[in-house]
Amino acid sequence: MDTAESGCANGRERRWVWVTAALIAVFLATAVTSRKNFFQNSKKACELAYSDKYTGIVEDCSCGYETVDSLNEELLHPILQELVTTPFFRYFKAKLWCDCPFWPDDGMCRLRDCSVCECPDNEFPELFKKPFAGLSTDDLICQEGKPEAVVDRTLDSKAFKGWVVIDNPWTNDDETDNDEMTYVNLQLNPERYTGYVGPSARRIWEAVYTENCPRYPSGEICPEKRVLYKLISGLHASISVHIASDFLLDEATNMWGQNLELLHDRVLRYPDRVRNLYFTFLFVLRAVTKAADYLEQAEYSTGNPEDDLKTQSLVRQLVYNPKLQAACPVPFDEAKLWKGESGPELKQLIQKQFRNISALMDCVGCEKCRLWGKLQVLGLGTALQILFSVNGRDHVNQPLQMQRNEVIALVNLLNRLSESIIFVHEMGPSTENIMKSQTSSPSRKSPA
Angle at 405 between CA 400 and CA 410, to 5 degrees: 70
236 labelled ligand-binding: yes
| Calpha distance 366→382 (Å, rounded) | 24
Q: What is the Cα 176 distance to its own chain's centre?
A: 26
End-to-end CA distance of the chain: 81
CA–CA gap between residue 163 and residue 50 (Å, rounded) = 45
DSSP string, 267-299: IIT-HHHHHHHHHHHHHHHHHHHHTHHHHHTS-
* DSSP 3-state of 445: coil
> Contact 400/294 with Cβ under 8 angstroms?
yes
- What one-character DSSP code corresponds to residue 151? P
Strands 182-185 and 247-250, by their bridges, are unpaired
Distance between CA atoms of residues 303 and 314, nearest Å: 18
* Catalytic residue list: 366, 369
Contacts 24+ apart (CB under 8 A), 302-310: 302/87, 302/88, 302/125, 302/127, 302/128, 303/125, 303/126, 303/127, 304/87, 304/125, 307/86, 307/87, 307/88, 308/88, 310/86
Query: In sequence order, what are the beta bridge partners of 182?
Result: 94
Q: Give the 3-state secondary structure of residue 57.
A: strand
Judged by DSSP in three states, 419 sits in helix
205 is in an annotated binding site: yes
**Mapping DSSP to helix (H, G, I), strand (E, B) and coil, where does residue 92 land?**
strand
Map residue 54 onto helix, strand or coil: coil
Radius of gyration of the chain (CA): 28
Closest by CA position to 404, among listed 87, 100, 151: 87
Q: Rounded to an integer, what distance in angstroms lies between the CA atom of residue 402 and that of residue 285?
A: 16
Using DSSP's 3-state secondary structure scheme, residue 19 falls into helix
DSSP 167-221: --TT----TT-GGG-EEEEGGGS--------SHHHHHHHHHIIIIIS--PPTTSS
- The verdict on whether residue 97 carries a ligand-binding annotation is no
- Contact status, residue 331 vs residue 282, Cβ threshold 8 Å: yes
Binding region for FAD? 192, 194, 205, 233, 236, 266
Binding region? 192, 194, 205, 233, 236, 266
